[in-house]
Copies of this chain bind each other. A is one copy, B any other.
Amino acid sequence: MKKIEAIIRKSRFEEVRKALYKVEIHFFTYWDVTGQGNETEAHVYRGVSYTASDIQRRHISFVCNNEYAEPAIQAILAAARTGEVGDGKIFVSEVLESYRIRTGEQGSVSLKENR
């Protein structure tokens, strides 16, 4: 099982969501984070102009069986790209075990569709 974490622009979120659907990733969890990176944003406040390198981004995280990982990564890479500095990153790591709380199922079956 792999855990895929992607830090993307909020404005690309809907595209990424759609792309993940296409590769059968229907389950994921996301939250908003602040990213510190290359990109900066111009602000003006009461006559002070300044640039901030803290930029709001969306963090998407999901766990999937190994065979889903590569297509999902490609899907995100394609959907989240604008080509401008600040498009974000994808990280992949290993997950040992997974449980579906509702049924108590364990292992790769717990990641499969089941209503």
- Given known pairs A28-B36, A30-B33, A91-B95, the reply for A101 and B8 (CB within 8 Å) is yes
Q: Quote the shortest CB–CB distance from A72 to chain B (angstroms).
A: 11
Residue pair B26, A36 in contact (C-beta under 8 Å): yes
CB-CB < 8 A to A104: which residues of B? 77, 81
CB contact between A31 and one of B33, B81, B90 (< 8 Å): that residue: B33
CB-CB < 8 A to A94: which residues of B? 93-94, 96
Q: Quote the shortest CB–CB distance from A58 to chain B (angstroms).
A: 9
Interface residues, chain A, with chain B CB atoms under 8 Å away: 2-3, 6-8, 17, 26-38, 57, 59, 63, 73, 76-77, 80-102, 104, 110, 113, 115
